[in-house]
Chains A and B, each alone.
Chain A
Amino acid sequence: MGNFDIGLSGITVAQRAIDLIGTNVANAGTEGYHRQSLQISPREFGTSVSLVAGGVGVTGIPRNIDFMIEAEYTRQQPQLAQISQELGALQTLESAMGTLSSTGLTASLADFFGSLRDLAGQPNSLPMQEQAAWSAQAMTSQFHHLGQFILGLEDHLVHEAATTVQQANDLIDMIAAFNGQIRETLRRGGNANLLMDRRDQAVNDLSELIDTDVKRMDADGMVNVAAWGSPLITGSNSIGLEAATVADGNLGISVLGANHYHTDWRGGKLGGILALKNDIVSGIKTKLDALAGQIASSINAHHFQGIGQAGSFTDLTGVVSPATAVNEWDADVTAGNFYVRITNLETGKVVRRTVAVASSDTLSDIADKIDGLTDADSTAALTASVASNKLHIQVNDTAKFRYDFLPTPMPEFGALWSGGNTSTPAITGTYSGASNQEYTVTVVGGGEVGIDAALAVEVRNGASELVTTLNVGNGYAAGDVLTMDNGMSVAFSAGALAAGDSFTVQGYATTDETGLLAAAGMNTLFSGDTALTLAVRQDILDDTKRFATSLNTTGSDNLNVLRMQDVSETSYAALGNATPEDAFRSLVTQVGQDISMREARALSLETVSQQLLNQRDRISGVDVNQETAMLLVFQQQFQAVAKFMTTQSKMMDIIIELL
């Protein structure tokens, strides 16, 4: 009968309303839950002419949701997640760099160059030599520590990418499954609100991980998700992602199975990991390696041609070098000559031998050229070989011979110097010019040194320009030292000089035009060229008298260490036209700026997110007070309708009793 239907409908609705209130209140704190409201409206059961009787029915249980706010919130997540990811890693890196504290690479660099300056003041003092060697080692260990940290960070990033991709794939599968369930539920006419809430929360979680582009298909309640232009979830179908390291060492993401890895995808935590690994951290690593390599090569370029207090060498071993031709080495080795000075201790004669390097030579070829180099009297003095990929040069007789690469100038006599010249020239000093040059000294006038008026010598440089004319005749005392050019001086002993005779003097800015000796590790201070591989040569640490402070044969001056300490004031193109200390300082400041910028951006994004969340809660959030009030309403309704049904039932009983 219609009457009972009215009551029944009222009770049903009240029950359902209370159920819904219970659901809302139970989920008041659930993340991603949207408040459900009950839509009730009157229903007709029967009509007589004048009365419309009806009950109530539930016409719908909508979710209180504002799709625009939801979409905007979802859109913000990838940017925020990427910045947070980058910020975390950069802050750890900054701590590792130890920037403003008293330890760290900044202090080590300053200490190293400072100890070189101290050594320049006292080159023959053992404590100063040791201080210089130890501060070099402290600097290399700081480089090593940083390099190790960056390597660890990169490994961690690769690992984290794999984990994040796994998380994302799980979420993708979950969303697709939800999509399927929602479609089934809606098809059967059911209510999919709770499923949709869970699915939407999963979509938000996913948008923290990757850069999602979410499209709602209102027709069947499903949500399609694409990332970086590739569709990942279409209805209940999904495809995952995979991460791998590609050929150039960068990290890339690909859609599962497509095997096409993108290294430039950004957005979300995964995008942050990619940005860190491929751009930010690898950029810092490149700059750090460039700094280590530049310091090593600049210092070595001076160190190899000097000698320490220990004097010239009897035995030198280099570093591990490639077996390929020299023009394929990482270090910049070009064709040209290098010069080895060989001293015979017994005869006292010194000679300088030239070794030519061709681009196609390998280290063994070079060893062959050095092997068998002779002294001034053409006695074989040197033996050279390659053992374990290291160049090894030693003298044949340690009592007789010594060798080094000193640029000490000496007169070279050729066919233009007649045997009748009884006066012998002696060259002293150290060449201070910027590039190698050959000077020609020609006698004019002829006669006895110190006696004949017209006797003089003309000094011409490599471009055949007359540099100076020196009077060695009347007014000159034999043995007096006269300045030639660029730090070199000449003195003539008593005797005769023939007019027109000439000899040459080589001024060496470097005794190795090719860069091979430093690259092969001959008498170098540092080995390695990256932050991880930079190290001080063990033989110098073992015997600090081998620290090549000097450019003179006595080993007592400080000219070489002066040049080495000048490296700290020189700007290098490889460091962006900055000095080594400036380069590291700008690296540190750059990291600081990156962090500072990201902190500001993260704060502003978080504030926007927060405001969106507040707005969302205003619409979709559960207000427990309101729900409790509604509870009272429906509870009363239930009681009232129950009373109505009881009354109807009693009336039916009366009618039945009447019959």
Chain B
Amino acid sequence: MSGWGAIYNNTLFGLQEQTRILARLQEQISTGARINRASDNPADASRILRLRSQSYNLDHYIDNLDDVVLTMNHGYNLMSEVQDAVVSVKTVLTQAASGSYSAENRVTIATTVDSALEQVVSLANAAILGRHVFAGSNSSALPYEVTREDGKIVSVRYVGGDQDMPVPVAPGVMYSGQLVGDDVFRSDGREAPEFLGSTGVAGGTGTSSITGDVWLSMAHTLTKHDDAANPGIAPEQTAPPAIRFSARTR
């Protein structure tokens, strides 16, 4: 017959096993988590760690996303206001071109245009969260530099960054809230001008000549036209500027 030793051993072993299970269950209850350490369930623990890490990352991405959205909204509002200012200038100039205005009226119109210019420049130099929206990556400095004479603007130059600032908003996705001012406000798409229309010329042996008037806008870094010391466009050219026309017969 088995001795007391066996009774003792079995009882102790059984108690220890039950205590171990009980302790584990109580740990689960008190922490509220089924898995408290990787050894409880290594496969699940791996997934938990991965999900937690993803969650941390997403928090940061969301912060950046909120930032970018805020900056872009602000940029959109600014551009709307610039558009309004430009439209008002166009309206006023169209009126001035009608020829029915006196000299004082034209001075008033010039003042209107000037204040619209001031407004556009200040909109282009606007900042949100301490960053200038149209300055590209060079966000801490004013993107547009203004030269004044007698308090009036005589030239505006873009001195901001030439690259935007991509911000990580999702894994592998970059988006920029900062815009490059030059890309927004300056047109650099140049194409050879095409003149379309009927010349009225028909096949035959006669001669025909056509004249036309063309307005050519030239952008210069110097936009002052009345200063003899710093002429913008040269008043006299030894060689005429090359402006070519192509005439197509149909």
A residues bordering B, Cβ < 8 Å?
28-29, 35, 90-91, 94-95, 99-100, 106-107, 109-111, 113-115, 117-118, 120-125, 428-430, 451, 474-477, 479-481, 489, 552, 554, 556-559, 562, 565, 569, 581, 585-586, 588-589, 591-593, 595-596, 599, 606, 610, 613-614, 617-618, 620-626
Known: A592-B45, A617-B3. 10 other contacts (CB 8 A): A95-B37, A99-B37, A100-B36, A110-B57, A122-B131, A477-B188, A556-B137, A586-B46, A617-B2, A623-B3
A623 to B6, alpha carbons, bound, how many Å?
10
Contact across chains for B1 and A589 when beta carbons are under 8 A apart:
no
Contact across chains for A113 and B45 when beta carbons are under 8 A apart:
no
Contact across chains for A117 and B45 when beta carbons are under 8 A apart:
no
Which one of B1, B4, B140 lies within 8 Å of A28 (CB-CB)?
B4
Which residue from chain B places its CB closest to the CB of A24 in the assembled complex? Answer: B3
Q: Measured between C-beta atoms, what is the minimum distance from B192 to chain A in Å?
A: 7
A635 to B245, alpha carbons, bound, how many Å?
142
Which one of A100, A110, A121 lies within 8 Å of B56 (CB-CB)?
A110
Contact across chains for B5 and A117 when beta carbons are under 8 A apart:
no
A122 to B176, alpha carbons, bound, how many Å?
11
A569 to B168, alpha carbons, bound, how many Å?
12
Given known A106-B53, A114-B60, contact A614–B167 (CB-CB < 8 A): no
Q: Which 9 A-B pairs have the closest CB atoms?
A: A621-B3, A592-B38, A557-B137, A595-B39, A114-B60, A110-B56, A617-B6, A592-B42, A593-B42
Given known A100-B37, A589-B45, A617-B5, contact A121–B138 (CB-CB < 8 A): no
Contact across chains for B37 and A592 when beta carbons are under 8 A apart:
yes
Query: What A residues does B50 contact at CB under 8 A?
Result: 585
Query: What B residues does A125 contact at CB under 8 A?
Result: 130
Which residues of B, 142-191, contact A by the 8 Å Cβ criterion? Answer: 161-163, 165-168, 171-172, 174, 188, 190
Which residue from chain A places its CB closest to the CB of B135 in the assembled complex? Answer: A556
Which residue from chain A places its CB closest to the CB of B46 in the assembled complex? Answer: A589
Which residues of B, 8-39, contact A by the 8 Å Cβ criterion? Answer: 8-10, 13, 33, 35-39
Q: Indicate whether B129 reaches chain A with its CB closer than 8 angstroms.
A: yes
Q: Indicate whether B64 reaches chain A with its CB closer than 8 angstroms.
A: yes
A124 to B166, alpha carbons, bound, how many Å?
14
A556 to B130, alpha carbons, bound, how many Å?
13
A625 to B161, alpha carbons, bound, how many Å?
99
Which one of B48, B141, B188 lies within 8 Å of A100 (CB-CB)?
B48
Q: Indicate whether B228 reaches chain A with its CB closer than 8 angstroms.
A: no
A574 to B48, alpha carbons, bound, how many Å?
25
Contact across chains for B162 and A481 when beta carbons are under 8 A apart:
yes
A603 to B238, alpha carbons, bound, how many Å?
102
Query: What A residues does B64 contact at CB under 8 A?
Result: 117-118, 120-121
Interface range for B:
35 or more
Query: What B residues does A585 contact at CB under 8 A?
Result: 46, 49-50, 53
Query: What B residues does A100 contact at CB under 8 A?
Result: 33, 35-38, 45, 48-49
Q: Measured between C-beta atoms, what is the minimum distance from B121 to chain A in Å?
A: 21
Q: Indicate whether B202 reaches chain A with its CB closer than 8 angstroms.
A: no
Query: What A residues does B141 contact at CB under 8 A?
Result: 554, 556
Q: Indicate whether B224 reaches chain A with its CB closer than 8 angstroms.
A: no
Contact across chains for B162 and A428 when beta carbons are under 8 A apart:
yes
A565 to B57, alpha carbons, bound, how many Å?
11
**Listed A/B pairs (10) with beta-carbon separation below 8 Å:** A120-B64, A451-B242, A552-B161, A554-B138, A557-B163, A585-B46, A592-B45, A610-B13, A618-B2, A623-B3
Q: Indicate whether B68 reaches chain A with its CB closer than 8 angstroms.
A: yes
Query: What B residues does A618 contact at CB under 8 A?
Result: 1-3, 6
Contact across chains for A99 and B56 when beta carbons are under 8 A apart:
no
A621 to B5, alpha carbons, bound, how many Å?
7
Contact across chains for A91 and B174 when beta carbons are under 8 A apart:
no
Which one of B59, B68, B140, B165 lies within 8 Å of A114 (CB-CB)?
B59
Given known A100-B36, A585-B46, A595-B39, contact A28–B3 (CB-CB < 8 A): yes
Given known A95-B37, A585-B49, A589-B46, contact A556–B162 (CB-CB < 8 A): no
A489 to B221, alpha carbons, bound, how many Å?
20
Given known A100-B33, A610-B13, A618-B1, contact A121–B68 (CB-CB < 8 A): yes
Contact across chains for A592 and B39 when beta carbons are under 8 A apart:
yes
Contact across chains for B161 and A554 when beta carbons are under 8 A apart:
yes
Which residue from chain A places its CB closest to the CB of B38 in the assembled complex? Answer: A592
Contact across chains for B37 and A94 when beta carbons are under 8 A apart:
yes
Q: Which of A111, A124, A589 has the most CB of B within 10 A?
A: A589
Contact across chains for A588 and B38 when beta carbons are under 8 A apart:
yes
Query: What A residues does B41 contact at CB under 8 A?
Result: 596
Q: Which of B4, B190, B192 has the most CB of A within 10 A?
A: B4
A565 to B68, alpha carbons, bound, how many Å?
18
Q: Which of B68, B129, B168 has the most CB of A within 10 A?
A: B168
A110 to B174, alpha carbons, bound, how many Å?
19
Which one of B39, B45, B59, B140 lies within 8 Å of A124 (CB-CB)?
B140
Q: Indicate whether B63 reaches chain A with its CB closer than 8 angstroms.
A: yes
Query: What B residues does A111 contact at CB under 8 A?
Result: 56
Q: Measured between C-beta atoms, what is the minimum distance from B156 to chain A in Å?
A: 15
A554 to B161, alpha carbons, bound, how many Å?
9
A545 to B219, alpha carbons, bound, how many Å?
40
Contact across chains for B137 and A552 when beta carbons are under 8 A apart:
yes
Q: Indicate whether B52 reaches chain A with its CB closer than 8 angstroms.
A: yes
Which residue from chain A places its CB closest to the CB of B177 in the assembled complex? Answer: A121
Which residue from chain A places its CB closest to the CB of B182 in the assembled complex? Answer: A481
Which residue from chain B places its CB closest to the CB of A566 in the assembled complex? Answer: B168
Contact across chains for A556 and B139 when beta carbons are under 8 A apart:
yes
A90 to B37, alpha carbons, bound, how many Å?
12
Q: Which of B8, B9, B242 has the most CB of A within 10 A?
A: B9
Which one of A106, A480, A622 lies within 8 Å of B188 (CB-CB)?
A480
Q: Which of A35, A479, A557 has the most CB of B within 10 A?
A: A557
A121 to B170, alpha carbons, bound, how many Å?
12
Which one of B1, B9, B49, B163 lies within 8 Å of A588 (CB-CB)?
B49
Q: Which of B35, B41, B45 has the most CB of A within 10 A?
A: B45
Q: Measured between C-beta atoms, what is the minimum distance from B221 to chain A in Å?
A: 8
A596 to B167, alpha carbons, bound, how many Å?
43
Contact across chains for B42 and A589 when beta carbons are under 8 A apart:
yes
Q: Measured between C-beta atoms, what is the minimum distance from B137 to chain A in Å?
A: 4
Contact across chains for A118 and B60 when beta carbons are under 8 A apart:
yes
Q: Which of A428, A610, A620 has the most CB of B within 10 A?
A: A610
Query: What B residues does A430 contact at CB under 8 A?
Result: 163
A479 to B171, alpha carbons, bound, how many Å?
37
Query: What B residues does A428 contact at CB under 8 A?
Result: 162
Contact across chains for B10 and A610 when beta carbons are under 8 A apart:
yes
Query: What A residues does B139 contact at CB under 8 A?
Result: 124, 556
Q: Measured between C-beta atoms, what is the minimum distance from B134 to chain A in Å?
A: 14
A125 to B165, alpha carbons, bound, how many Å?
14
Q: Measured between C-beta atoms, what is the minimum distance from A390 to chain B in Å?
A: 33
Contact across chains for A107 and B38 when beta carbons are under 8 A apart:
no
Contact across chains for B9 and A613 when beta carbons are under 8 A apart:
yes
A556 to B141, alpha carbons, bound, how many Å?
9
Contact across chains for A117 and B61 when beta carbons are under 8 A apart:
yes
Query: What B residues does A429 contact at CB under 8 A?
Result: 162-163
Query: What B residues does A586 contact at CB under 8 A?
Result: 46
Contact across chains for A91 and B3 when beta carbons are under 8 A apart:
no
Query: What B residues does A110 contact at CB under 8 A?
Result: 52-53, 56-57
Q: Measured between C-beta atoms, what is the minimum distance from B130 to chain A in Å?
A: 7
Query: What B residues does A569 contact at CB under 8 A?
Result: 171-172
* Proximity bits, B42-76, A CB within 8 Å = 1, else 0: 10011011101100110111011001100000000
Q: Measured between C-beta atoms, what is the minimum distance from A92 to chain B in Å?
A: 12
Contact across chains for B137 and A475 when beta carbons are under 8 A apart:
no
Query: What B residues does A94 contact at CB under 8 A?
Result: 37-39
Q: Measured between C-beta atoms, what is the minimum distance from A474 to chain B in Å?
A: 7
Contact across chains for A614 and B53 when beta carbons are under 8 A apart:
no
A481 to B163, alpha carbons, bound, how many Å?
11
Which residue from chain B places its CB closest to the CB of A98 in the assembled complex? Answer: B37
Query: What A residues does B61 contact at CB under 8 A?
Result: 117
